[in-house]
Structure 1
Amino acid sequence: MSDIRVRFAPSPTGYVHIGSLRTALYDYIFAKQKGGKYILRIEDTDRTRYVDDAIENLINSLLWAGIEHDEGVFLEDGKIVQKGEYGPYIQSERLDIYKKYIEILLEKGLAYYCFCTKERLDSIREEQKKAGCLKGYDGHCRNLSEEEVKAKLDAGESYTIRLKMPEDKEIVFDDLVRGKITINSNEVDDQVLIKSDGFPTYHFAVVVDDYLMKITHVIRGEEWITSTPKHVYMFEAFGWEAPKYVHLPTVLNNEKKKLSKRHGDVAVSDFKEKGYLPEALVNYLALVGWSPESNKEFFTVEELINEFSFDRVSKTGGVFDRDKLKWVNANYIRNADVEKITELAIPYLIKDGYIKEEDVESKYEWIKALVASIKDRLSYIGEIDEKAKFLFDNEIKPENEETLEVLKGEQVPTLLDAFKEELDELDQIDEEFSKKIMKTIGKKTKIKGKQLFMPVRAALSGQLHGPDLDKIIYVLGKQNILNRIEYVKDNYLN
């Protein structure tokens, strides 16, 4: 068994972003590929931005996407539980652990108390901004004597604890995407490790947790590259071996800017609610920033596990193209069993008022036929409201001039009369009738091909293209078709 251990460690400050799902996916794929462990850890030390149901949303979103962790934070019967040898896996429950390790850095002289007020720090930042040089903290408290520190602590002054970065030291680390990266310590300010509320910052907690949880590879967004020297130095300060780092390219919108809420849906739950298939979203997302050796566009998770490599992850941002996602998702819907899509579609059909919940069981075969008739036209399940509308509105409205022209064809009255005569002999339409009726009408009227099919389709749906005609006939049923025939006669043939 491999000793590879990776972690996905989001903050519960909102719902899971598409970019975060991609990070979790790469964690999961890499761990599975190497026979290692994938851990879900919650980094909740920023209490000001904590969102109450964010952890539940996170776990549910990941499970919906099929990204299941081996260790960490789980939901059982609606309750948050933790499983694994290296817990707690929620940072706010690890404060005693951080206290122990910050004392080590203080004793070594590698961290120091900072008593600077917010006002002073804001003033420094403003001065640096005016000078056009944002250097970060100016080290004002860096060299306070033990006596000065003790006096301030005894006086009850508010403080933070900062990392004491060395001067002019080349900090080097290897990135599995970008290669060797070197940053001079003079470019890195003395990061706050413990905030004034006693909680650790991300930068301190992440190092302690990654070490204690035996994390071998840290996979995260490229926005953390500039922070990595602080983390690498802290590993060195503690005398620990740093993990390997993988900084992923940013997920961009079509304008090549960072994907954000103002550009539309970005939370995983947004796509779930619209009725995207999780396997389609995961397939597409894997390719946002990673290119396989083949030109394949469709992958199962097992195929991703076999083919994925950080060597082929781009150094530049990957574009999240919603139109391309729709295309991928539409392919998955077309190739899915109609029963599966029917089950997914039923809640939308109920919500849109097309069917009643109490009728689902008795009308299941009809509902399945309805879904089958429009399945191949769906980009996502939530579109069923728009795509199914023509099946529930007997006021036929030709979609364009060409359709109207077809409806007014000289053979149309003959066709509609022949159709009506066949319907008059029936109690209700079954699948056998719907498959044979056009051939029957053709024989009766001696009309063939497009001259036969196009007018009937236009009269029943207001469209010249779309679902198979036999499916439309079966789903509409006898009375709806009779109503549509009369409507077309009254409005387009007089």
Structure 2
Amino acid sequence: MTVRVRFAPSPTGMFHVGGARSALQNWIYAKQQGGVFVLRIEDTDAARNKPEWTEGILSALDWIGISRGSYEGPYFQSENAGEHRAAATRLYESGRAYYCDCTREDVQARTGSQYQGYDGYHRDRGLGPGPGHALRFRTPDEGVTVVVDLIRGEPTFENKLIEDFVIARGDGSPVFLLANVVDDMTMGITHVIRAEEHLPNTPKQQLLWDALGVKPPVWAHVPVVVNEKRQKLSKRRDKVALEAYRDEGYLAGAMRNYLMLLGWAPSGDREIVPWSVIEDEFRLDEVNPSPAFFDEKKLRAFNGEYIRALPVAEFVEACQPWLTGTGTIAPPPWQPDEFDADAFAAVAPLAQTRIAVLSEIVPNVDFLFLASPMIDEAAWTKTMKDGSGELLDAAVTAFEALESWDAESLKSTLEAVGAERGLKLGKTQAPVRVAVTGRTVGLPLFESLEVLGRERTLTRIRAARLRLP
């Protein structure tokens, strides 16, 4: 039997990091088993679906390494509507489903509570199809439904506690539960690997598989992803869009690595490992069923490690979208003709060790490409104290006299300027840094001045001096 897994997102918004994790788990499992990864777009919610969301799903999958052409699909759930309706008809004709015209208010009136489920009122009343008649599945009165799950063991559900659930609406359109089952049957899905939140629906879906005469797939419900308060990640509250992390400058390799650690770990005392190791070692039955904490700080640290591991040439290439403002990346504060590729190449090794996401490259190097630095006024106020003007004057005089404009000469010269005034180098260089770069922190100062050049450095220090008493 060929293993066939599926990833079935809905095109109703940005691509959720939890969905990305599920996609990767399905992808790896299919690859390990010599199987097939199927992409199905569940697009039956016409009011919320947008073509751009579908393209966003495909682009996000491309980015994390599940590229177009390497999987089967994408299929669209809406294209299988005829099979959904046919399955509903078979269930009705076989006596496994019946029609009901009860409204929600009718159900509440009979049970006396909005929290009670449907009471089977129309089970044996012989109501036929018609406008406003929903089709309900006839759940067995006795016995249990056992869900064999690779991660959670054998969750068991008493059938008498499962209400006769709706499988087709009053207008005849099948609901998600039935459509999902029929699609998996039609596509020959053998393993369903999905988030824990779908587990409550699983006994209902398994009953549908049984009623339609097809063996259910192997189930595997991976743990829910939660935030630092142990709340399920929410689009409304948390930063969950994969595209947002991509556009901020997270590397695909770091994101893949981190997502796979949400509920699982490679062998040994290690977390940052080559993708080939994850592909080889990942096992579904080793996934921890407990909720998985999505720690953005940890992801950021991961990304910094991945950035520092890049060859410098690859780092320079990876920074280009932020330096040029291409794709979905906002343009930098300098004009295209102000960018100096050679200057950036000179400071790239310094920047590479200091940033955790690629978007941070812009505030680290903008002073090189702007006509004048973007002054952080809070930094200016903090740094430019009494005596700073006289210190800047001395720095200009000393720098003008330099024969060699290199980092070591600049450092020793400014160090001497500070020593004459009883200042350590840190105190001496702070006003110079703000005058030249606009900030109190950034790349190593003297290497930066070397790349910036004598004329531009002196011009900026003089301009800062004019702002002081």
Equivalent residue letter for 2:52: D
Answer yes or no: is 1:284 the counterpart of 2:258: yes
Q: 3-state SS of the aligned residue for 2:353?
A: helix
Pair 1:40–1:380, CA change in 2 (3 A): same
Q: 3-state SS of the aligned residue for 2:66?
A: coil
Aligned-pair CA distance for 1:408: 4.9
Cα-to-partner distance string for 1:432-472 (whole Å, 9 max, x where unaligned): 94345336737997979x94576346513466764233431
TM-score by length of 2: 0.85
Answer yes or no: is 1:341 the counterpart of 2:344: no
Answer yes or no: is 1:437 the counterpart of 2:409: yes
* 1:18 matched residue in structure 2: 17
1:32-47 equivalence runs, <5 A: 32-47=31-46
Cα-to-partner distance string for 1:123-154 (whole Å, 9 max, x where unaligned): 424775x647432x222222232xx42xxx4x
1:341-380 equivalence runs, <5 A: 341-348=318-325, 351-358=330-337, 363-369=340-346, 371-380=348-357
1:434-473 equivalence runs, <5 A: 434-438=406-410, 441=413, 451=424, 455-456=428-429, 458-461=431-434, 466-473=442-449
- Bigger shift: residues 46-55 or 172-181: 46-55
Answer yes or no: is 1:93 the counterpart of 2:79: yes
Of 65, 71, 96 in structure 2, the residue corresponding to residue 110 of structure 1 is: 96
Contact 2:30-2:36 at 8 Å conserved across structures: yes
Contact 1:252-1:320 at 8 Å conserved across structures: yes
* 1:200 matched residue in structure 2: 174
Equivalent residue letter for 1:104: R
Cα-to-partner distance string for 1:321-341 (whole Å, 9 max, x where unaligned): 222221112222222233233
Contact 2:334-2:366 at 8 Å conserved across structures: no
Q: 3-state SS of the aligned residue for 2:151?
A: coil
- Bigger shift: residues 432-441 or 287-296: 432-441
Aligned-pair CA distance for 1:348: 4.4
Q: 3-state SS of the aligned residue for 1:377?
A: coil
Q: 3-state SS of the aligned residue for 1:273?
A: helix
Q: d(CA) in 2 for partners of 1:397 and 1:368?
A: 29
Q: 3-state SS of the aligned residue for 2:98?
A: strand
Aligned-pair CA distance for 1:347: 3.3
1:113-152 equivalence runs, <5 A: 113-116=99-102, 120-125=103-108, 131=113, 133-135=115-117, 137-145=118-126, 148-149=127-128
* 1:224 matched residue in structure 2: 198
Pair 1:169–1:343, CA change in 2 (3 A): same
* 2:153 matched residue in structure 1: 179
Q: 3-state SS of the aligned residue for 2:247?
A: helix
Structure 1 gaps, min length 5:
75-88, 426-431
Contact 2:418-2:424 at 8 Å conserved across structures: no
Aligned-pair CA distance for 1:417: 2.0
* 1:325 matched residue in structure 2: 299
Aligned-pair CA distance for 1:282: 1.7
Contact 1:43-1:202 at 8 Å conserved across structures: no
Q: 3-state SS of the aligned residue for 1:218?
A: strand
Of 298, 309, 334 in structure 1, the residue corresponding to residue 283 of structure 2 is: 309
Q: d(CA) in 2 for partners of 1:218 and 1:171?
A: 17
- Bigger shift: residues 402-411 or 17-26: 402-411
Contact 1:7-1:215 at 8 Å conserved across structures: yes
Q: d(CA) in 2 for partners of 1:271 and 1:446?
A: 43
Identity %: 31
Of 104, 122, 139 in structure 2, the residue corresponding to residue 165 of structure 1 is: 139
Q: d(CA) in 1 for partners of 2:137 and 2:172?
A: 15
Q: 3-state SS of the aligned residue for 2:148?
A: strand
Q: d(CA) in 2 for partners of 1:161 and 1:394?
A: 66
Equivalent residue letter for 1:21: A
1:392-431 equivalence runs, <5 A: 392=370, 393=373, 399=379, 408=388, 414-422=394-402
Aligned-pair CA distance for 1:33: 2.1
* 2:457 matched residue in structure 1: 481
Pair 1:234–1:471, CA change in 2 (3 A): same
1:228-267 equivalence runs, <5 A: 228-267=202-241
TM-score by length of 1: 0.81
Structure 2 gaps, min length 5:
none
* 1:83 matched residue in structure 2: none
Aligned-pair CA distance for 1:105: 1.7
Contact 1:406-1:455 at 8 Å conserved across structures: no
Q: d(CA) in 2 for partners of 1:398 and 1:474?
A: 26
Pair 1:444–1:124, CA change in 2 (3 A): closer
Q: d(CA) in 2 for partners of 1:395 and 1:457?
A: 13
Equivalent residue letter for 1:48: A
Contact 1:416-1:456 at 8 Å conserved across structures: no
Q: 3-state SS of the aligned residue for 1:325?
A: helix
Contact 1:253-1:263 at 8 Å conserved across structures: no
Aligned-pair CA distance for 1:250: 1.1
Pair 1:467–1:435, CA change in 2 (3 A): same
Q: 3-state SS of the aligned residue for 1:483?
A: helix
Pair 1:396–1:479, CA change in 2 (3 A): farther
Pair 1:406–1:195, CA change in 2 (3 A): farther
Contact 2:394-2:417 at 8 Å conserved across structures: yes
Cα-to-partner distance string for 1:355-389 (whole Å, 9 max, x where unaligned): 323555xx222233455443333232223444445
Q: d(CA) in 1 for partners of 2:173 and 2:190?
A: 25
